[in-house]
Amino acid sequence: MTSEETAPRPGGRPRDAALDEAIILATRDRLVRDGYSLMTIGDIATDAKVSRPTLYRRWSTKFELVVDALDYGFRKQRDSYAVDLSGLAPREAFVEAVRRLDPAYFNPDAMVLMGNFAGEAIRTPELLGILREHAVEPRVTLVENVLTELQERGAVQDGIDRHTIATMCFGSYFAAFYRGESRDEIPEAVVSVLWPAIATAKASRKRP
């Protein structure tokens, strides 16, 4: 949330963190089921079993509530945007980085949520901007950083286009979603195609 969970309200009493979380979780559920435009404060209040005044004392607009609901998820995922490569062979490290690109790596509803926000690109472009900044770029940057580290280890060629490779890997999850295919095999399948093209001669002869 944008303020501390226990920050006092104007009346002096601390906010109820459990109540706040119930509202946040109800909001996240409604975002998946209804999307931003169709969800209402009334529905969220009903789902969270609170009154509208209770909700409005915490968030004055639907947009502010949604921003905090998104941040709730982002904060839980931030630690995943780093991969300890010390115990991983180069190819294995690349597979792990691609695995963490999966929008549903932590949230099984993430793909639907992203689709809903893409549908808001014209009406509420700020939401898509938030999603890009906090959910897309960290994941894509993770892969770019792993490739950079593998270059420093001499396992990946220096002249590769890290940005395009990371973008292609990220897009593979959306392609699988729209084709109705399982995402479980994507990391290994994608790396099997890309690794021979980007690995140095020495690394390509090695398998983990």
Between 19 and 202, the higher pLDDT residue: 19
Per-residue model confidence (pLDDT) at position 11? 47
Is domain 81-204 annotated with CATH 1.10.357.10? yes
Query: Is the pLDDT score of 106 beyond 90?
Result: no
The confidence band for 14, taking pLDDT boundaries of 50, 70 and 90, is low
The confidence band for 8, taking pLDDT boundaries of 50, 70 and 90, is very low
Helices 186-198, 90-99: axis angle to 10 degrees equals 130
Superfamily designation of domain 17-75: Homeodomain-like (1.10.10.60)
Q: Are 110 and 104 in contact (CB under 8 A)?
A: yes
Per-residue model confidence (pLDDT) at position 167? 96
Per-residue model confidence (pLDDT) at position 203? 73
Per-residue model confidence (pLDDT) at position 198? 97
Q: Are 55 and 46 in contact (CB under 8 A)?
A: no
Bridge-partner residues for 199, per DSSP? 156
Per-residue model confidence (pLDDT) at position 6? 40
Query: Is the pLDDT score of 82 beyond 70?
Result: no
The confidence band for 179, taking pLDDT boundaries of 50, 70 and 90, is very high
Between 13 and 119, the higher pLDDT residue: 119
Helices 62-77, 41-48: axis angle to 10 degrees equals 50
Q: Which pTM does this prediction carry? A: 0.80
For the chain, the domains span 17-75, 81-204
